[in-house]
């Protein structure tokens, strides 16, 4: 009997462990806007069933069966330019210096549906009677160009600093298909600034002939990729030419240089 109980206990612990491992942790549970810090959602434009706006603020309300990504999807079927919104209030005024926005679309196969058009962040400055004032606006590319793909971090920005207790976020609908309600995974506010980010870049160095004119071209695949011009043509002023390129958003890139008239 004792052995059986032990076995049951072991298997339930394992189940708990695998359940915990299945949870996809995105965003901070300790930020200024997390529900765990006492923030309340005061108003919002509506949810696509069975999603919940609380999930964008640290909530862990179930969505589709078995999904461990606690995300939110706004109402579907809205026209282009429709403004989805959420308003929230912290238990006391907070000093906001930065925020992170984690979001994801449904992929290029479906025209990047569920990616928002424009994001706007508003705040009511504490101690004034002024209404919501715009403090940040951002229009992403499609598909999103992530600051950090693994975390689905679309935007990380410094603001203010400002003292506020009430906030509002807007996400416009692109209406590129019926299921276009934007998906927001988490929205975190912080009293610290975003630290500078350092990423590796590539340095391209070519041997060239002074006085001749060159064009650098780039493609993302060989041999069938299309070569496109990379910046403007230039006239070489010495025997070598160097150019830096970003390594974001990742993936292979091939370069070539050719003499032009
Ligand atoms: Ca959070
Ligand atoms: Ca979340």
DSSP-assigned states of every residue in 111-179: TTTT--S-EEEEEEETTS----EEEEEE---SS---SBTTTTEEEEEEEEEEEEEEEEEEEE---SSSS
3-state secondary structure of 233: strand
Give the domain-ending residue among 146, 166, 190.
190
C-alpha 203 to ligand 1 mean position (Å): 38
**CA-CA-CA-CA dihedral for 156, 160, 163, 167, to nearest 10:** -50
247 pLDDT higher than 90: no
15 pLDDT higher than 50: no
Q: Average pLDDT for residues 197-223, to the nearest whole number? A: 88
* Statement to judge: residues 125 and 207 lie in one domain: no
* Statement to judge: residues 165 and 215 lie in one domain: no
* Statement to judge: residues 134 and 213 lie in one domain: no
Identify the residue with better confidence: 96 or 19. Answer: 96
Phi/psi at 37 (5° precision): -95, 5
2-16, 157-171, 214-228: which has the minimum mean pLDDT?
2-16
CA angle 190, 143, 201 (to 5 degrees): 70
* Statement to judge: residues 183 and 223 lie in one domain: no
**CA-CA-CA-CA dihedral for 247, 248, 250, 253, to nearest 10:** -50
* Statement to judge: residues 173 and 222 lie in one domain: no
5 within a domain of the structure (yes/no): no
| Domain coverage including residue 102 | 22-190
CATH number of domain containing 123: 2.60.120.260
Q: What is the pLDDT of residue 14?
A: 35
C-alpha 181 to ligand 2 mean position (Å): 16
* Statement to judge: residues 153 and 212 lie in one domain: no
Give the domain-ending residue among 163, 190, 217.
190
How far apart CA 145 and CA 115 sit, in angstroms, is 11
67 within a domain of the structure (yes/no): yes
DSSP 36: G
Q: For 35-50, what is each residue's pLDDT tens digit? A: 999 999 999 999 999 9
Q: pLDDT-derived band of residue 244, with 50, 70 and 90 as boundaries? A: confident
* Statement to judge: residues 39 and 168 lie in one domain: yes
Ligand nearest to the CA of 69: 2
What total number of domains does the chain contain? Answer: 2
* Statement to judge: residues 112 and 171 lie in one domain: yes
* Statement to judge: residues 29 and 126 lie in one domain: yes
| Cβ partners under 8 Å of residue 13, min gap 6 | none
* Statement to judge: residues 63 and 181 lie in one domain: yes
Q: What is the pLDDT of residue 209?
A: 96
Q: What is the pLDDT of residue 128?
A: 80
C-alpha 209 to ligand 1 mean position (Å): 55
3 within a domain of the structure (yes/no): no
C-alpha 55 to ligand 1 mean position (Å): 9
11 within a domain of the structure (yes/no): no
Count Cβ neighbours within 10 Å for each residue of 9-47 and write b for 16 or more, e otherwise.
eeeeeeeeeeeeeeeeebbbeebbbbbebebebeebbeb
Q: What is the pLDDT of residue 250?
A: 66
Give the domain-ending residue among 139, 170, 190.
190
83-97, 160-174, 243-257: which has the minimum mean pLDDT?
243-257
Q: Average pLDDT for residues 180-201, to the nearest whole number? A: 87
* Statement to judge: residues 116 and 217 lie in one domain: no
């Amino acid at each position: 009997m004792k052995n059986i109980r032990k076995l049951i206990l072991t298997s339930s612990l394992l189940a708990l462990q695998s359940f915990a491992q299945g949870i996809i942790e995105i965003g901070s549970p300790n930020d200024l806007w997390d529900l765990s810090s006492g923030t309340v959602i005061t108003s919002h434009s509506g949810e696509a069933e069975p999603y919940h706006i609380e999930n964008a603020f640290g909530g862990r309300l179930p969505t589709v069966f078995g999904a461990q990504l606690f995300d939110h999807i706004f109402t579907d079927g809205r026209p282009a330019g429709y403004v989805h919104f959420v308003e929230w209030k912290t238990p006391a005024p907070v000093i906001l210096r930065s925020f992170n926005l984690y979001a994801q679309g449904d992929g290029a196969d479906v025209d990047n549906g569920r990616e928002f058009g424009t994001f706007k962040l508003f705040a009511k400055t504490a101690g004034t009677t002024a209404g919501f004032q715009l403090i940040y606006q951002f229009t992403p590319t499609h598909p999103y160009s992530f600051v950090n793909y693994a975390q689905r971090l679309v935007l990380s920005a410094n603001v203010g600093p400002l003292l506020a207790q009430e906030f509002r976020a807007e996400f416009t609908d692109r209406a590129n298909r019926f299921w276009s309600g934007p998906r927001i995974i988490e929205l975190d506010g912080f009293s610290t600034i975003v630290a500078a980010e350092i990423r590796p870049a590539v340095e391209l160095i070519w041997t060239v002939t002074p006085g001749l004119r060159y064009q650098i071209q780039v493609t993302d695949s060989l041999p069938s990729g299309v070569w496109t011009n990379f910046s403007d043509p230039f006239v070489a002023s010495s025997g070598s030419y160097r150019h830096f390129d970003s390594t974001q958003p990742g993936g292979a890139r091939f370069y070539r240089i050719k003499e032009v008239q």
